[in-house]
Amino acid sequence: MTLDSARRPECSSTWIWNLPAYGTASTLCAALVAFSATARADSNETPAPKNEGPPPPAEAPAPASRSDSETQGEIIVVTGTRTETPRAASPVTTEVIERERLLESGVQTAAEALALRPGLWIDRGFAGTPGLTMQGLGPQYSLILVDGARQIGRTDGVLDLDRFGIEDLEQIEIVRGPSSVLYGNEALAGVVNLVTRRPRDGVSMDALARVDGRLGYEARGRAAYGKKGYAAALFGSLREANPVDDETDPRGVATAFDGYRDWRVTGRANHRREAWRVDAAADYVRRDIRGVNASATGAIFDRRNVVETALMQAGATWTGERSALRVEADASVYRDQFLNDQRMSSALDAYALTDENLVETRALASHQVRRHRVSAGGELLREALTSDRLANPGDRTRGAVFVQDEWRLGATDQAIVVPGLRFDADTQFGSHWTPSLAGRWQLGDRAVVRASAAMGYRAPSFKELLLRFANTGAGYIVEGNPDLGPETSVSFQSGTEVQVTPWLRVFGDAYLNRLRGMITTVSLPDDGSGTLRFSYDNIGRARTAGVEAYAMLVRGRAGLELGWAATSTRDLDLGRALEGVPQHRVSTTLRWRDRRQGFDAFVAGVMTGHRPLYRSRDPLDATLVPRRFELRARIAKRFREGYGGFLGADNILGSGDAKLDPMLPRTLYAGIEVHR
């Protein structure tokens, strides 16, 4: 049977709305000294401008205590406080990956960009879907936003980060630790906000074409125009790659990585007039993913997954002298069609259709009262999901209100205390209170200390509530539990940022998370049928703790970043480490940038430590995934006319384990680009 068989429902585009490494510190110090010596030769020439990211829009509502001139040249972030704030003044530690760093690294998706950060771990779940683990907590505990809009379409708790290309991104903002007081559900481990490029006044055009050694290609283009307060941009991209064969399959038919064909169309527009700004955006993404599975019994399956996502957003911002108001609305639709087609037979064929939609409105108002900036807001969302595996369609409505106060202390605002409180009411799991307390201390001219204590929660998914799945061949049934409550956590975070010299900045963070009511699989009593029955319940407890540190150096044309993360996890019920979380991650990034000659060079290496997997009947018998050493490099040359080209290589060392840690093979690529 083939994928195009007439007796199988076709994948259509029709939409339906319904710290053992104790030597690490000395190693980092030695590397910093060596780098300083090698870069000293460039110290006599005019230093390259610091990578401060994109300038803030003139109409952006900055904190009422800061003038527009004070925020010029700063990196503006929104995720940590939900208001546009210079990153250096944010009371919440926010890591920013700017557009320039995204481009010079050669990454294509958000998953690849996040994988270069030392404290983040990207693992592949169902059908190779890449999900984010943050602070030792799996993908279901991290909230993914695009311009503040919640993203839907999770599979087994994993949101496919390959859906989000970097082509139209201005920056990626990462806030670690619970942010439930501002965002509610799923923001238990942290928040990743993908901030898109906003069209500006003037005319601009960008285009890129890329090919690689796997016969894959990428083409993208963007055109923008703005005049007299009106601006609009249109963006389109197409990516395609062949599947990668599974070398462990003796028959040579299975694939280790799926092939795909992705295309995307995005339109954005805004209007600025005096104190008002109005934004609108529409985005459509279609992914056609194909691969081959080979079972131990000899059956071969052609697998096809067509995923479509559409998003519409609109928002209006009013900014006064001491106040600001933002109102937003967005609607998302997600359709996932999965076909598992057995060759030479139809006995084990399977087709699954999942439709999900989300409508959400948000409002946030802030007002400066002496030394207090008080922000208050509310949200209302409706989420619905239909799937062949659910006993009933899922439908929930959630409303929330929250308030937060930024209280500035001292004559020069050297201290900020930020208490916050949120109340959520959900039609499926009831109500929930989430408090938080954060603080920021400026220690002299060079050091900043941030700390927070917060509670977080994760609401049960539709699958955990409503699943009805029977595997008659294996003799078991899995049923959802409609009485599940949310998982909760208590978290403590601290971080320090020190500007050691004009060219050296050091960051350090520590955290502790304690989870209760974790949703885990449980056995149900025998109903007399002899079939094994399983369900879900709130019985699990876990703890994660760790430290993260990295240093950034910019000296002349050279830049170096060194990072290290150590993570300790514990399942307090089973007495073992959490599955799949590495204890150590070490990253190194080295770049050389000659702006006069238009030449860039980039090298990145990441070492990932052992990860435990539990595959035997003994729950304490762990299989350790081998250490992984990744290396990638890229060089680029841009001419004054706006034309340029680049060459690069991913996974240069050919890292990965075919069975325990599959990775894409060594890949060479090249391309040309135009910026006018």
Instruction: Give the pLDDT confidence of 139-157 residue by residue, as tens digits.
Output: 999 999 999 999 998 887 8
Domain range for 73 is: 24-675
pLDDT tens sequence across 91-135: 888 889 999 889 888 898 999 999 988 888 887 765 567 889 999
Question: What is the structure's pLDDT at 353?
Answer: 93
Tokens of 23: 């030597």
Tokens of 477: 């049934």
**522: in domain:** yes
**546: in domain:** yes
pLDDT exceeds 70 at position 225: yes
97 conformational bin, left if phi > 0, alpha if psi -120 to 50, beta if neither: beta
- What average pLDDT does the structure give for the chain? 85
Q: Tell me, rounded to whole angstroms, the distance of Cα 396 from its chain centroid.
A: 24
pLDDT exceeds 60 at position 27: no
Q: How confident is the model at residue 40 (pLDDT cuts 50, 70, 90)?
A: very low
Q: Of the ranges 108-112, 352-356, 614-618, which one carries the lowest mean pLDDT score? A: 614-618
pLDDT tens sequence across 486-500: 999 999 999 999 999
Q: Of 1-15, 20-34, 50-64, 558-572, which has the strongest mean pLDDT? A: 558-572
Q: Which of 58, 98, 59 is closest to 77 using CA atoms?
A: 98
Question: What is the structure's pLDDT at 68?
Answer: 34
Please state, in angstroms and rounded to a whole number, the distance separating the CA atoms of residues 350 and 343: 12
**3: in domain:** no
Q: Which long-range contacts (CB under 8 A, 24 or more apart) does 64-73 make?
A: 64/321, 64/322, 64/323, 64/324, 64/366, 64/367, 64/368, 64/373, 65/368, 65/373, 65/408, 65/413
Domains in the chain, number: 1
Tokens of 607: 């070492």
**5: in domain:** no
Q: Is the distance from CB of 347 to CB of 340 less than 8 angstroms? A: no
**538: in domain:** yes
Q: Is the distance from CB of 495 to CB of 447 less than 8 angstroms? A: no
Question: What is the structure's pLDDT at 390?
Answer: 87
**CATH number for 370:** 2.40.170.20
Please state, in angstroms and rounded to a whole number, the distance separating the CA atoms of residues 448 and 89: 9
- In order, the DSSP letters of 220-287 are EEEEEEEETTEEEEEEEEEEEE--EE-TT-TTS--EEE-EEEEEEEEEEEEEEETTEEEEEEEEEEEE
pLDDT exceeds 90 at position 73: no
Tokens 């944010």 belong to: 90
Question: What is the structure's pLDDT at 513?
Answer: 95
**SS3 category, 189:** coil
Whole-prediction pTM:
0.85
Percent of the chain having pLDDT more than 90?
Answer: 55
* Mean pLDDT value across residues 439-455: 92
* Mean pLDDT value across residues 189-207: 92
List 459's β-bridge partners, or say none: none
pLDDT exceeds 60 at position 63: no
Residue 216: DSSP 8-state: -
Task: Check the CA dihedral 75-77-81-83 and report its sign.
Answer: positive
**SS3 category, 500:** strand
**SS3 category, 321:** coil
Residues, the chain, total?
676
**9: in domain:** no
**433: in domain:** yes
